Structure 1
Amino acid sequence: MKPVIIKSTEQITQMRQSGKLLANVFKALDEHIQVGMTTMELNDFVESYITQQLGAIASTKGQYGYPYAVNVSVNDVVCHGMPKASQKIKSSDILNVDVTLKYDGFLADSSKMYVMPEAPALARKISNETYKAMWEGIKLVKPGVKLGDIGHAIQSYAERQGYSVVREFCGHGIGAQMHEGPDVLHFGKKDTGLTLKPGMTFTIEPMINQGTHKVKTLKDGWTVVTKDKKLSAQWEHTILVTESGYEVLTLRDEEH
Structure 2
Amino acid sequence: MIPIKTEADLRKMRHAALILQQALQAVEAAIHPGVSTLELDQLVESLIVSKGAIPGFKGYNGFPASICASVNEEVVHGIPSANCILADGDIVGVDCGVYYDGFHTDACRTFLVGDPLPEVRHFVKITKKALDNAVKVIRHGAHVGDISAVIQKTIEDQGYSPVVECTGHGVGRDLHEPPEILNAGRKGTGPMLQAGMVLAVEPISTMGNGDVETLEDGWTVVSADGTPSAHFEHTILVTKNGSEILV
* Smaller-chain TM-score bracket: over 0.9
2:30 pairs with one of 26, 29, 32 = 32
1:7 pairs with one of 5, 8, 24 = 5
SS in 2 for 1:112: strand
CA shift, 1:185, in A, is 1.0
What's 1:214 paired with?
211
CA distance in 1, matches of 2:46, 2:7: 31
CA shift, 1:182, in A, is 0.6
What's 2:74 paired with?
77
TM-superposition CA deviations, 1:45-73 (whole Å, max 9, x none): 11111112x12101110000001000000
CA shift, 1:135, in A, is 1.1
CA shift, 1:118, in A, is 2.1
CA shift, 1:236, in A, is 0.4
Matched, 1:143 2:136: no
What's 2:59 paired with?
62
CA shift, 1:122, in A, is 1.4
CA shift, 1:33, in A, is 2.1
**Amino acid across the alignment from 2:49:** T
CA distance in 1, matches of 2:240, 2:76: 33
CA distance in 2, matches of 1:117, 1:66: 29
What's 1:253 paired with?
none
What's 2:227 paired with?
230
Report the identity percentage. Answer: 39
CA distance in 2, matches of 1:149, 1:104: 32
TM-score (norm. length: structure 2)? 0.98
TM-score (norm. length: structure 1)? 0.95
Unaligned runs of 5+ in 1: 251-256
CA distance in 1, matches of 2:176, 2:190: 18
1:114 pairs with one of 96, 111, 133 = 111
The 8 Å contact of residues 87 and 114 in structure 2, kept in 1 or not, is answered as: no
Matched pairs, number: 247
What's 1:166 paired with?
163
Unaligned runs of 5+ in 2: none
What's 2:174 paired with?
177
CA distance in 2, matches of 1:9, 1:41: 36
